[in-house]
């Protein structure tokens, strides 16, 4: 099968449901414009026409075999995750998904593996369809397996959630639970043991992260800053604090709560829950700040969206990250987020 047949077979869809007008969303009371895709796959460029008053949010992520995923990963999960990590960046800005491009380097034996290719495309498009985010262009080449997705979202001008808006006195919040993807990774690497049914649950967190698109949109009017957690809380929160020119104090009790009950179920314990929360990585949850006056609103949002939102600390003036032990002591937190070249 040649390059153009490959594209036609797996990636060119005549009537993607993602091109249909979006359904009304519970967390969005604003009318949504028709998707702005003027031209999709098949020409030198795709063409987008953003609606008046909208900005385009753009993010790109590259996934490399052996670094971002295991060589024997379920291809459907890989297709899902490659798009999910990009959609997570849109969520962090409060943007609505619009479309994505896919550049794919494939070893020839993968390209010839129909079961693998079909499953990859199925995983990719299932998530794309869920977010009405069609594939509008790309590139396919032979080479070591590498997946590069660039995603486009739209957001009303001036409403984007940036990471430089945190103010002293703001609460610090995280969505969902932290550290579960890391536990799954440790188990798959043989560093800890998990019961099979427990591993199955945590492995979903590692391999099929859920981009918090609806939460990001709801936070437009609530949060002072936001970002997604991909490299671990301590490293990511450091980026936010530096961008905002502030420091942060985290509450160790609340952090333990954000990790949830799973840390109690493993043997041997890989680390204390607080360390797991701080250094987890691959969480793809949202980290955001909001003024204390928004606590009721945030708590109501957690209930309405059936997603835990945990208040884990407070922004303060100055710089650095600090851990409050709940007994009056504070200690500096080392930045220990993931770094590909560290």
In the complex, the residues that contact a copy of itself under the rule CB under 8 A are 1-4, 6, 38-39, 42-50, 52, 55-62, 64-68, 89-90, 92-93, 95, 101-105, 108, 111, 136-144, 146, 148, 150, 152-153, 155, 157, 160, 162-164, 226-228, 243, 339-342
**Is 59 assigned to a binding site?**
yes
Q: State the nearest-atom distance from the C-beta of 106 to a copy of itself, in Å.
A: 8
Whose structure tokens read 């080449």?
A: 141
**Is 114 assigned to a binding site?**
no
Nearer to a copy of itself, 145 or 302 (CB): 145
Whose structure tokens read 């961008």?
A: 243
CA distances in angstroms from 318 to 65, 172, 224, 234, 249, listed in the order given: 40, 16, 18, 17, 11
Q: What span, in angstroms and rounded, lies between the C-alpha atoms of 89 and 152?
A: 10
Q: State the nearest-atom distance from the C-beta of 154 to a copy of itself, in Å.
A: 10
Q: State the nearest-atom distance from the C-beta of 256 to a copy of itself, in Å.
A: 27
CA distances in angstroms from 205 to 91, 116, 328, listed in the order given: 17, 21, 34
**Is 61 assigned to a binding site?**
yes
Nearer to a copy of itself, 58 or 119 (CB): 58
**Is 170 assigned to a binding site?**
no
Q: Starting from the edge strand earliest in sequence, which strands make up the sheet with 171-175, in order?
A: 225-228, 286-290, 171-175, 309-316, 247-251, 321-324, 330-332
Q: State the nearest-atom distance from the C-beta of 16 to a copy of itself, in Å.
A: 17
Region class of 98: left (phi > 0), else alpha (psi between -120 and 50), else beta: alpha
Token reading at 220 = 């437009």
Q: State the nearest-atom distance from the C-beta of 274 to a copy of itself, in Å.
A: 24
Q: What span, in angstroms and rounded, lies between the C-alpha atoms of 70 and 78?
A: 9
At residue 337, φ and ψ (nearest 5 deg) are -65, 165
Do residues 92 and 227 touch, judged by C-beta distance below 8 A? yes
**Is 282 assigned to a binding site?**
yes
Which stretch of DSSP H or E encloses residue 154? strand 146-156
Nearer to a copy of itself, 35 or 273 (CB): 35
**Is 339 assigned to a binding site?**
no
Q: State the nearest-atom distance from the C-beta of 193 to a copy of itself, in Å.
A: 29
Nearer to a copy of itself, 100 or 194 (CB): 100
Q: What span, in angstroms and rounded, lies between the C-alpha atoms of 184 and 336?
A: 19
Q: Report the binding-site residues for ATP.
A: 138-139, 163, 230
Q: Report the binding-site residues.
A: 44, 59-61, 68, 89, 138-139, 163, 228, 230-231, 282, 338
Q: Report the binding-site residues for Mg(2+).
A: 44, 59-61, 89, 139, 228, 231
């Amino acid at each position: 099968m040649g390059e153009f047949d490959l594209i036609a077979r797996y990636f060119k869809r005549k009537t993607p449901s993602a091109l249909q007008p979006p359904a009304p969303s519970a967390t969005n009371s604003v009318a949504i414009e028709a998707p702005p895709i003027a031209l999709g796959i098949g020409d030198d460029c795709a063409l987008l026409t953003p609606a008046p008053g909208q900005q385009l949010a753009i993010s790109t992520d590259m996934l490399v075999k052996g670094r971002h995923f295991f060589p024997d990963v379920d291809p459907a999960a890989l297709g899902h995750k490659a798009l999910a990590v990009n959609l997570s960046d849109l969520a962090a800005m409060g943007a609505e998904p619009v479309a994505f491009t896919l550049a794919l380097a494939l070893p020839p034996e993968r390209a010839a593996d129909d079961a693998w290719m079909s499953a990859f495309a199925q995983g990719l498009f299932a998530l794309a369809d869920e977010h009405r985010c069609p594939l509008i262009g790309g590139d396919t080449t032979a080479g070591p397996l590498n997946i590069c997705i660039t995603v486009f979202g739209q957001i009303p001008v001036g409403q984007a959630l940036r990471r430089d808006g945190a103010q002293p006195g703001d609460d610090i919040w995280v969505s969902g639970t932290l550290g579960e993807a890391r536990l799954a990774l440790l188990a798959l690497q043989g560093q800890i043991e998990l019961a099979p049914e427990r591993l199955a649950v945590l492995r979903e967190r590692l391999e099929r992260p859920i981009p918090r698109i609806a939460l990001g949109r709801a936070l437009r009017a609530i949060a002072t800053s936001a970002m997604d957690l991909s490299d671990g809380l301590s490293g990511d929160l450091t980026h936010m604090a530096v961008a905002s020119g502030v420091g942060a104090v985290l509450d160790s009790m609340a952090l333990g709560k954000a990790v949830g009950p799973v840390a109690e179920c493993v043997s041997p314990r890989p680390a204390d829950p607080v360390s797991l929360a701080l250094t987890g990585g691959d969480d793809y949850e949202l980290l955001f700040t909001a003024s204390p006056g928004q606590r009721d609103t945030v708590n109501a949002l957690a209930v309405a969206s059936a997603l835990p939102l945990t208040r884990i600390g407070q922004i303060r003036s100055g710089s650095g990250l600090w851990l409050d032990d709940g007994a009056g002591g504070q200690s500096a937190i080392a930045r220990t987020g993931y770094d590909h070249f560290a």
